[in-house]
Amino acid sequence: MDKDLFHRLEGESICFKPLSINDAKDIHEYASDTDVSRFIGWPLMDTVSDTRKHIEEMLEREAAGTHLYATVILKSTNEVIGTALVFNFEWQDKHAEIGYVFHKRHWGRGYCTQTVALMSDFAFESLKLHRIHARVADANIGSVRVLEKNGFKLEGRLRDYYFVDDLYYDGLYFGKLQSD
């Protein structure tokens, strides 16, 4: 698994870099936002120290080879705008899951769409995976659009899969094959 290549992926307006404790303050800006963290599966980060600890845990998972993480940078400003990840690898079956989270002031600008495109190309070309998938809450309409724009197909609905803010939401399971 070429994590160095993953950390150097570059699109038109964004690029990846290795996840770093040094970015804890910037990551905390979106990791502590209830709107951002609502559907991502991370706990809400109350303090920069909480975020730093979470980053340390993420770096441990990456070192163990179970996850790939990258900080997403806006090239025009060199600003940290999000986090991208590939995880839940099933090497025998050649598939994995992708995830992403972005600061809300950068929603709706195409950066997440670029990120998913970069991760998809990396997964198929460098990791030689056959399929990738993503799970999202049905209320996370922005994330659904990003996946659809990148050629992911809705493959299933898991009723009342997510419990968020005392409400249940269906989980949507999207997949993409290397041949799509």
Tell me the CA distances in angstroms from 67 to 42, 48, 133, 174, one per residue in order: 15, 22, 14, 19
pLDDT confidence of residue 1: 67
Q: pLDDT band at residue 22, thresholds of 50, 70 and 90?
A: very high
Structure token digits, residue 92: 């025998």
pLDDT, tens only, 38-51: 787 777 788 999 99
Min mean pLDDT across 32-36, 77-81, 172-176 is at: 32-36
- Dist. CA 127–CA 6, nearest whole Å: 10
Half-sphere exposure of 25 (CA within 13 A, CB side): 2
- Dist. CA 90–CA 28, nearest whole Å: 31
Number of domains in the chain: 1
pLDDT, tens only, 134-178: 999 999 999 999 999 999 999 999 999 999 888 999 999 999 999
Q: pLDDT band at residue 37, thresholds of 50, 70 and 90?
A: confident
pTM of the full structure: 0.93
CATH of the domain at 76: 3.40.630.30
- Dist. CA 82–CA 14, nearest whole Å: 10
Tokens 């195409």: give the residue: 110
Q: What is the mean pLDDT of residues 57-75?
A: 95
Is 70 exceeded by the pLDDT of residue 73? yes
pLDDT confidence of residue 120: 97
Q: How many CB atoms lie within 10 A of CB 120?
A: 21
More confident residue, 87 or 34: 87
- For residue 113, what are the domain limits? 3-177
